[in-house]
Amino acid sequence: MKTAVVTGGGSGIGLAIAERLSADGHHVATLDLKPAGPGFAQAADVTDRAQVDLALAAVRERHGPIAILVNAAGMDGFKRFTRLEFADWQRVIDVNLNGVFHCVQAVLPDMLEAGWGRIVNISSSSAQSGQQLMAHYVAAKSAVNGLTKALALEFGPAGITVNAVPPGFIDTPMLRRAEERERLGGTVEDHIQRTPVRRVGRPEDIAAACSFLVSEEAGYITGQILGVNGGRNT
Ligand code: NAD
């Protein structure tokens, strides 16, 4: 049993990951804008280092040092690049990329002390394929994949693995909001017909990959980008 922190654990993919790690027997704490999710739910904005530090201090007090971190907090955004204001760009980079910086840096001392750690960053299949109207989001998620590789090299010798899971087309509130706003280029049903396994992804599909990557037996896997997308991107 280890202590696991899941950011964005209040909804969708993060919630499913938190539930799965809890079922796997870990002490789970979630960090989200609104405190929600299973286990020890903490309110924190991942873009605010002081809030992250405060929430993690509460987690350590309750469950001891943090051994597992899954960064699932994220926000999308849809705008033509010519209409994208710098503030839009900055906010999407802040949540999706800088949030990962803060959370990883804040938990690393525990992992270094223990000589063991598991970090999984939830990026996006759009970093593989590109996505129109999402230049800021694609840039941020691509950077998360790069950050994952760099950290894997830096902290492998310390017993810490760092991997990324880019989801593709997972049925969550984020996806359904995009469908409602007609940002998907078709309905979810249309996309299912273009997906090799002929179904929409479930948050549990991402949770299963995370459960494996944070396990003891995944210790020889690091710096990898494990696509979970029904074969939409290979
Ligand atoms: P979601 O909107 O259902 O959940 C995202 C969660 O992150 C929410 O609970 C939200 O409150 C939280 N969050 C947002 N900004 C935050 C902040 N600043 N600080 C703390 N928490 C914050 O979305 P989801 O679909 O479950 O997405 C989870 C992750 O998966 C995101 O990183 C998203 O970019 C990524 N993703 C999702 C899909 C998909 O198809 N759903 C595809 C590719 C990538």
Give the active site residue among 89, 116, 137, 155. Answer: 137
CA dist 131 → 128, 137, 151, 164, 199 (Å): 9, 9, 26, 19, 20
Instruction: Report the pLDDT value the prediction gives residue 177, as an integer from 0 to 100.
Output: 96
Structure tokens given for 62: 């309750």
CATH numbers and ranges of domains, the chain: 3-169+203-218 (3.40.50.720)
Q: Which residues line ligand 1 at a C-beta cut-off of 6 Å?
A: 7-8, 10-14, 32-33, 45-47, 72-75, 95, 99, 122, 124-125, 167, 169-170, 172-175
Furthest-apart CA pair in the chain: how many Å?
Answer: 49
pLDDT in tens, 123-178: 999 999 999 999 999 999 999 999 999 999 999 999 999 999 999 999 999 999 99
Element holding 122 (H helix, E strand): strand 117-122
Tell the residue nearest (CA) to atom 4 of ligand 1: 11
The CA radius of gyration of the chain, in Å to the nearest whole number, is 17
Kindly report the average pLDDT of the chain as a whole number: 98
Q: Cα of 10 to ligand 1 centre, how many Å?
A: 9
Instruction: Report the pLDDT value the prediction gives residue 75, as an integer from 0 to 100.
Output: 98
> 220 catalytic, yes or no?
no
Give me the amino acid identity at 11: S
Instruction: Report the pLDDT value the prediction gives residue 115, as an integer from 0 to 100.
Output: 98
Percent above pLDDT 70 for the chain: 100
CA contacts within 13 A on the Cβ side of 39: 34
Asked if residue 110 lies in contact with residue 63, where contact means CB atoms within 8 angstroms, the answer is: no
Instruction: Report the pLDDT value the prediction gives residue 42, as an integer from 0 to 100.
Output: 98
End-to-end Cα distance, the chain:
34
Ligand 1 probe mutation, 7, 13, 47, 134, most atoms within 8 A of CB: 13
pLDDT in tens, 101-116: 999 999 999 999 999 9
Q: Cα of 183 to ligand 1 centre, how many Å?
A: 16
CA contacts within 13 A on the Cβ side of 26: 29
Per the document, the length of the chain is: 234
Q: Cα of 127 to ligand 1 centre, how many Å?
A: 15
88-122: b (≥16 Cβ within 10 Å) or e = ebeebbbbbbbbbbbbbebbbebbeebebbbbbbb
Q: Where are the alpha helices (DSSP H) in the chain?
A: 12-23, 49-63, 86-93, 99-114, 126-129, 135-155, 173-180, 188-193, 203-213
Asked if residue 176 lies in contact with residue 144, where contact means CB atoms within 8 angstroms, the answer is: no
Q: What is the mean pLDDT of residues 41-49?
A: 98
Helix (H), strand (E), coil (C) string for 14-83: HHHHHHHHHHCCCEEEEEECCCCCCCEEEECCCCCHHHHHHHHHHHHHHHCCCCEEEECCCCCCCCCHHH
Q: Cα of 24 to ligand 1 centre, how many Å?
A: 22
Tell the residue nearest (CA) to atom 16 of ligand 1: 73
- The predicted model scores a pTM of 0.98
Structure tokens given for 218: 């995944």
- What's the pLDDT band for 74 if we cut at 50, 70, 90? very high
